[in-house]
Each structure stands twice: as structure tokens, then as C-alpha cells.
Amino acid sequence: MHELYLINPAENAPGYFGLEVLGAWTGVNATAIADLATPTVAAFAPDNWKVTICEERLDPVDFSHPARYVGITGKVTQQARMIELAAEFRHRGKIVLIGGSYASLSPDALREHCDILVIGEIEEIAGELFEDLALGRYKSTYQGGKPALVDSPVPRWDLYPLERTWSAQVQTSRGCPFDCEFCDVIQYLGRKQRWKEPDQITAELDILRDRGVRGVFFADDNLTVMRRRTRALLERLLDWNTRPPDERLAFATQVSIDISRDHDILALMRNSGFETLFVGIETPNEQSLAEAGKRQNLRHDMIAQVETIVQHGMMVYGGIIVGFDQDGVDIFERQFDFIQSMPLPLISPGVLVAPETTPLYARMLKEGRLTEGADHSASLVSTNIIPATMSREQLRSGMTWLLNRLFAPIHFMTRLERYVALSGERKDFQRQALFAGPTALLARELVKRGPAEYALVRAFDRASVDRPDLVVSLTTIFSLYCQARHMLEVQDLWQPDLAGFERPSL
């Protein structure tokens, strides 16, 4: 029997969507969202292959694993660990394969670190790849295409530690028709969106529900961009997820903010089980939105749009960016005022970065404005771009000020209370306690940090009593607030005094 050891490496640094805080503060080993790449690849392995999956966020890598072949996947935020693991396994005589989004977007950065480089999507090349591996006559590079997702199998979740994840994943489409200058999705997956049929998706959901999963993130760069397809899927999910509250699944996904105009779709999303929508809000600066090609955010009142989504009973997780060429030194105050005006407790502020292969990267390269050598993914205040309208130090100090002010308990509490006040009522819900299990342990650690943190915990507790239908969302908000604080602390960015300054120190 042939054997393959598949590894999803640890991140270079904790991210907004991780749950590293659980291990750091409480000793509980869990992750927010299950990896999709490793169980998907495992599903292509023939019956005479034994596949083992390692999720390094949950378990240490077994360097003595007997498999001849070691497969490593990952994003740019896992680059350093991917290379480190590949070197160690090759030193031990293993044949190392590297694939995933980073390998596909930046193959030259990884080619010398592996024996086999897998570029692109695996559906059309899996048969050849596994046959070659079995015969021991493999090529140095395999190049996938843009397959129809009807050929994608159900991931091998039986090989994955789902019991230690808060949410599983189902990929519903690949590709995005938008062309934001800073985004590398279309470089990797294309502009033509390809999607799975509703019956494929519910077949995967059946397996996950039977394994005890109650939360699923739909991996979709924009679930609502093709309205006809969206409506067909939502109607199928509405029928599938009509069940007692303790058996319903809670869904999350990514959408663009223009979905706020389609109230019928918002109602379908809420009624079918969606609780959280990630939205790239980016900036209140319309010049920056135009510069980035984020046309779907232009000429609309984004504050009112976020409020509309929340009033339909769903939580918005907002992506925020500073550092566009059109951003002056006033952008940090503008962003703070903009975010504080919305019912938006969950946010992921970041500095604009130019990923390799994007139009932004090409423009920065042409203008001589790319930095070299630094790992910008390891810090929330770093970038590989030389700013146009401010110094690098102004960008770092302004972003540090903004992060501290946004995540200061008093300001976070304002957004939390606004979200609770505006959120549409959810009628089908399972009653449960907010501070139980891991969240109780997090709360005990957070209150040790001071009276402001204690007041924030009390605000969460009051909200859970007043709105028991929001406890699932409140649990997510509280846990990811603790994660953001953990990120700031481990990167030596948490400076509580900054939260009270009238202006950033620029």
C-alpha cells in the first residue's frame, strides 16, 4: 500500500480568523475553521493509498511518519513554515510535494524547496499525479487547469480532527468576476465563477452534520454575485436546514456589500441559516475605492448598507484597509469614525499589501515602490509597499493607533451594543449560555487585564441575557475579540494609552 502524509502548516503569525488565543490563554487546543485543502486532496487518493492528515494548528508534525511522500499546502501567511517543513522532510529522505494557493501564485519561490511542485487546481491532474507517485516516476511539476466543480469529490472529513474545530468548510464556488487591484483570487482561480450544484453542497452538509458539525463556512469569494445561482442554492438550503434548532447548522460566507439592496435574498439567507457575512468594506475614502477598482462599494451609503444586513438578522464581519495611494495621514481618524458609526463589532483592519501576481504588485514594481526581504505577513502594521502620501513610520504609527483605538474595550463595546440594538430577531434558536466552556476560560483571562476589560465582559453578559437569540453570534464576537487582543499583544502592538489620544502620533 502506498502512503501519503498531508500537512497544513502553522501560520507565520496569529491571524484574525485563527483561535490561537485558546491555546495561549486557556490551554484548549482548537481552531476556528477547518482546513479544506488537505481533506480535498485526500479524497482523490485511490483506494490502495493510506492518507494521514496533520493540521499543525492542532497537532505537532510527525517527522518520523513512515510515508514515502509528504504533501505540504499553504498560503503566503504559511510560507516560512512550509519551507521549514519541506527542508526537514527532505533531509530525512522523503519526497516532498508542495501545492496550494502560494505554490500556484508564486511557484518560483517554492520550486527549489520541493521535489514535486503542484500548481493550480487538482481535479484534472489528480489521476496522473497519484499514478506517477505509485510508479515512482513522477515529474517535477504538475499544472492544473480550471475544472468544473461537478468533478470535485466530497472531502475526506473522516481523516480530519473536526471535533476540535468551531466550523467546517464547504467550497461552493471558485473564481470572482470583480477585479480589485489588490486581490489575487482571480490570478489563482480566474474571473469566471464556477460553482457546485445545490445537491452537491447538501451532500457534503449531510456528512458534516452526521459528524456532529453545527457550523459551516461556505468557501466562496462572493456567494451572491450571480443572483440566479444564489437564489437556487438558498432555496435548497432553506429546505435542507428546516429542522429543530439543536440540529440546524449555522452558516457563514463572503459577500459584497451590494447584497444589501436585495432584501429577498437577505431574508432567504437568514431563514436558511446564515449568521455571519464577511464583507470587504475597505475604506470610507471613495478615491481609494476607485483606485483599487472596488466599484461595488462606490456611490452607496455603506453605513446604511451594513445596518440593513444586520437588521435582517445577520452579523457583518468587516474587512478594513489603510494605506492606499489616495489615503492621507487623516485616514486613521477617518477610518475610526467610519467604523464606530456602524453596528460592526467584528473587523479585520490591515495595511494594504501587494501580493505577487496582482495588478497592484505590477504597478508598485513599475514605480519602484516595493520593499524587499521583510516578512510583511508577520505584523499587522507592515507592508511591502512604500507609501505614496506618508512615510513608512507614519503608516506604522497611525495603524498602531487605529488598532488600539478600535479594540479598546470602550470603543468595541459601543459597536457591540449598536449591533445588538439593530440586529433583527431570530426566532429559531437553541438556548445556551454565553460564558461556558472555552469562552468562560477566555473571559477569566480577559478580565485580568483591567477594569475596562471587566466592563466589556459584563456588556457581553447583559447582551446574552437581553438577546438569547444572539448567543451564537455573541460567542463568535467575544472569541474573536480575544483573538485580536492576543494578536496585538504577541506582536507588541497593544498600547492601551493610545486608545485615549485625540490624534495618532504622526
Q: Do 318 and 347 contact (CB within 8 A), yes or no?
A: yes
CA distance 202 to 216: 12
The per-residue pLDDT for range 426-464, each reduced to its tens digit, is 877 777 889 998 999 999 999 999 999 999 999 999 999
Average pLDDT, the chain: 92
Q: Do 44 and 153 contact (CB within 8 A), yes or no?
A: yes
pLDDT of the residue at 374: 58
Average pLDDT of 31-60?
95
The per-residue pLDDT for range 204-224, each reduced to its tens digit, is 999 999 999 999 999 988 888
Q: Which residue has the cell 464556477?
A: 194
CA distance 426 to 247: 16
pLDDT of the residue at 428: 75
> Which amino acid type is present at position 47?
D
The per-residue pLDDT for range 388-418, each reduced to its tens digit, is 999 999 999 999 999 999 999 999 999 999 9
500: pLDDT strictly greater than 60: no
Structural domains of the chain ordered from first start: 2-149 (3.40.50), 150-418 (3.80.30.20)
The per-residue pLDDT for range 243-286, each reduced to its tens digit, is 988 889 999 999 999 999 999 999 999 999 999 999 999 999 99
pLDDT of the residue at 300: 81
Question: Which residues, including other chains, have CB under 8 Å from residue 440's CB and lie 6 or more apart?
Answer: none
pLDDT of the residue at 148: 85
Q: Do 504 and 397 contact (CB within 8 A), yes or no?
A: yes
The per-residue pLDDT for range 142-182, each reduced to its tens digit, is 999 888 888 789 999 999 999 999 999 999 988 777 778 78
Alpha-carbon distance values, 234 to 212, 229, 243 (Å):
22, 9, 15
The pLDDT confidence band at residue 466, using thresholds 50, 70 and 90, is very high
The per-residue pLDDT for range 355-388, each reduced to its tens digit, is 888 899 999 999 999 997 656 677 899 999 999 9
User: What is the sign, positive or negative, of the torsion defined by CA atoms of 132, 357, 194, 168?
Assistant: positive
**Least confident among 53-67, 291-305, 448-462:** 291-305
pLDDT of the residue at 61: 98
Q: Do 29 and 23 contact (CB within 8 A), yes or no?
A: yes
227: enclosing H helix or E strand:
helix 227-240
Percent of the chain's residues with pLDDT above 90: 77
505: pLDDT strictly greater than 60: no
506: pLDDT strictly greater than 60: no
Strand ranges across the sheet with 250-255: 31-33, 165-171, 215-219, 250-255, 274-282, 315-322, 347-351
